[in-house]
């Protein structure tokens, strides 16, 4: 099946219509990406004006936006009778100049770029080709076996599954080493994701210089013959975070407490707007120009979406349930918090990130029973003592409850929102049925 099931809409028809919000600290800035005035008039400027007491953490965070550095982008999807989608974006605190550490959310665009790279190769490679990574420097890691993979063979397929289902760091690092800094940064920016800055591996303490070196690697056929090899490579270019952000009042480094803000100039960056844009490009690629789309096949797009939609309990290899991974562990919005199962008719195709006190989640929500769909991306900063690297963050007390309540609030709103056209989600129903079998 193809995810391009929605009739195409010409990007030349998309225009920005400004809507005036009433005066309030929680008034969203609204963008209606449609030339249809009737659609734009459906925007609700008072969406976040009065949060019920049943959402106490959401109330608290929205009442203190600077303290929590909160940014929310919620996007309604309005369908025409032809099922053509139009988007109305509600931006609350979204500002590309306000830095949040993206953590694992950068794994999603890099995984898509890895699939693009695969399709561009002339060699007989596919997502299940054995992939060996070698080490040419003391700081690097060699990987020729993976105990969680089928036949213990490292493959792009396995790395993508691990990255999307359980936010695996080693899988991301292998794709980082495959692509290199120049390819990742230039490709993402060429697609209109102007904030995208990828300049280091995850959970590998390496210097800026070491992160500019990339492992040699080889792709092998079933007999162990080399189909394609890449030598050790180095990026001459430097991709600093142009915001030069400094966060907190103090931080730990090498066991020592430094009484100064932590410098994030050499850290990754991906704004909430661009993170949302990555998700939108996956779900509705036809709403973007050819230059801004990810150039991957329907088959590879569906593979990626499958692992974004699947819950750990639905995986046999690896068996995540036996490892104690709950279905909601990597699903913050609407489901974050105490381990729980999630209704099978509700799917949250998302990517999370958690580090340095930032808790971020972004994705596309569907409820097949009630015919609901929407996008939402959000980040919140929960570091009351303003000390970084002390592992004392209010993730459980504030971060996860905020994301859960935000999702519940928007879901409740969507349940009540009048629709002149019910979205046809039959594609997703069949899609999920297929991988449940």
Find where tokens 């998700």 sit: 279
pLDDT tens column, 18-59? 333 333 356 899 999 999 999 999 999 999 999 999 999 999
Banded pLDDT at 222 (limits 50, 70, 90): very high
For residue range 310-331, list pLDDT tens digits in order.
Answer: 999 999 899 999 999 999 999 9
Q: What CA–CA distance (Å, rounded) separates 360 from 105?
A: 8
Number of domains in the chain: 1
Q: Residue 361, SS3?
A: strand
Q: pLDDT at position 435, please?
A: 67
**Of 102, 73, 103, 86, which is closest to residue 13 (Cα–Cα)?**
86
Instruction: Tell me if 107 is assigned to some domain.
Output: yes
Residue 6 included in any domain: no
CA distances from 74 to 99, 296, 335 (A): 19, 26, 16
Q: What is the pTM of this model?
A: 0.94
Residue 11: pLDDT over 50: no
Q: Looking at residue 356, which CATH number applies to its domain?
A: 3.40.710.10
Identify the pLDDT of residue 38: 92
**What are residue 247's DSSP bridge partners?**
262
Domain hosting residue 20, numbered range:
11-436
Angle at 58 between CA 54 and CA 60, to 5 degrees: 105
Per-residue pLDDT at 12 exceeds 90:
no
- Residue 337: how many other CB atoms lie within 10 Å: 14
Nearest to 202 by CA among 222, 176, 221, 179: 176
Q: Is the pLDDT of residue 14 over 50?
A: no
Tokens representing 9 are: 């809409």
Say if 143 falls within a structural domain.
yes
Average pLDDT, the chain: 93
Least confident of 36-50, 53-67, 275-289: 36-50
Task: Assess whether pLDDT exceeds 90 at residue 10.
Answer: no
Domain presence at residue 5: no
* pLDDT of 3: 41
DSSP 226-265: EEEEE--EE-------TT--EESSEEEETTEEESSPEE-T
Task: Classify residue 3: in a domain, yes or no.
Answer: no
- Could you tell me if residue 142 is inside a domain? yes
Q: Is residue 283, in this structure, part of any structural domain at all?
A: yes
Give 358's strand partners. 355, 381
Taking a C-beta distance cutoff of 8 angstroms, is the pair 39, 88 a contact? yes
Q: For position 265, what pLDDT does the model report? A: 97
User: Kind and range of the H or E element at 364?
Assistant: strand 358-367
- What is the per-residue pLDDT for 159? 98
**Interacting residues of 138 by C-beta distance below 8 A, sequence separation 6+:** none
First to last CA, the chain: 16
Q: pLDDT at residue 16 above 90? A: no
Looking at residue 111, its pLDDT comes to: 98
């Amino acid at each position: 099946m193809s995810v391009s099931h929605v009739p195409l809409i010409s990007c030349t028809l998309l225009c920005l219509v400004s809507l005036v919000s009433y005066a309030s600290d929680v008034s969203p800035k609204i963008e209606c990406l449609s030339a249809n005035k009737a659609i734009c008039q459906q925007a609700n400027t008072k969406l976040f004006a009065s949060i019920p007491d049943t959402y106490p953490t959401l109330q608290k965070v929205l009442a203190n936006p600077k303290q929590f550095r909160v940014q929310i982008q919620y996007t309604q999807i309005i369908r025409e009778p032809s099922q053509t989608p139009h988007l109305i974006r509600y931006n609350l605190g979204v500002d590309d100049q306000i830095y949040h550490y993206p953590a694992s959310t950068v794994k999603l665009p890099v995984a898509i770029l890895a699939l693009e790279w695969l399709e561009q190769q002339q060699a007989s490679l596919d997502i299940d080709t054995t992939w060996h990574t070698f080490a040419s420097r003391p700081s690097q890691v060699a990987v020729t076996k993976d105990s969680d993979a089928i036949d213990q063979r490292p493959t792009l397929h396995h790395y993508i599954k691990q990255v999307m289902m359980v936010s695996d760091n080693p899988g991301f690092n292998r794709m980082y080493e495959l692509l290199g800094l120049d390819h990742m940064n230039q490709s993402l920016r060429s697609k209109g994701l102007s904030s995208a800055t990828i300049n280091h591996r995850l959970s590998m303490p390496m210097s800026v210089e070491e992160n500019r070196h990339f492992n040699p690697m080889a792709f092998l056929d079933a007999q162990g013959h080399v189909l394609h090899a890449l030598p050790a490579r180095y990026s001459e270019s430097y991709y600093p975070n142009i915001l030069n952000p400094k966060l907190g009042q103090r931080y730990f480094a090498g066991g020592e407490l430094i009484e100064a803000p932590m410098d994030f100039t050499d850290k990754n960056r991906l704004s909430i707007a661009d993170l949302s844009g990555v998700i939108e490009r996956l779900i509705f690629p036809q709403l973007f120009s050819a230059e801004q789309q990810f150039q991957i096949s329907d088959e590879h797009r569906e593979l990626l979406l499958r692992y974004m939609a699947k819950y750990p309990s639905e995986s046999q290899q690896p068996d995540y349930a036996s490892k104690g991974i709950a279905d909601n562990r990597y699903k913050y919005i609407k489901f974050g918090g105490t381990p729980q199962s999630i209704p099978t008719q509700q799917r949250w195709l998302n990517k999370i990130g958690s580090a340095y006190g930032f808790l971020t989640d972004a994705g596309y929500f569907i409820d097949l029973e009630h015919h609901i769909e929407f996008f939402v991306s959000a980040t919140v900063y929960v570091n009351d003592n303003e000390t970084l690297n002390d592992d004392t963050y209010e993730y459980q007390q504030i971060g996860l409850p905020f994301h859960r309540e935000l999702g519940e609030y928007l879901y409740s709103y969507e349940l009540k929102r009048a629709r002149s056209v019910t979205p046809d989600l039959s594609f997703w129903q069949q899609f999920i049925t297929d991988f449940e079998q």
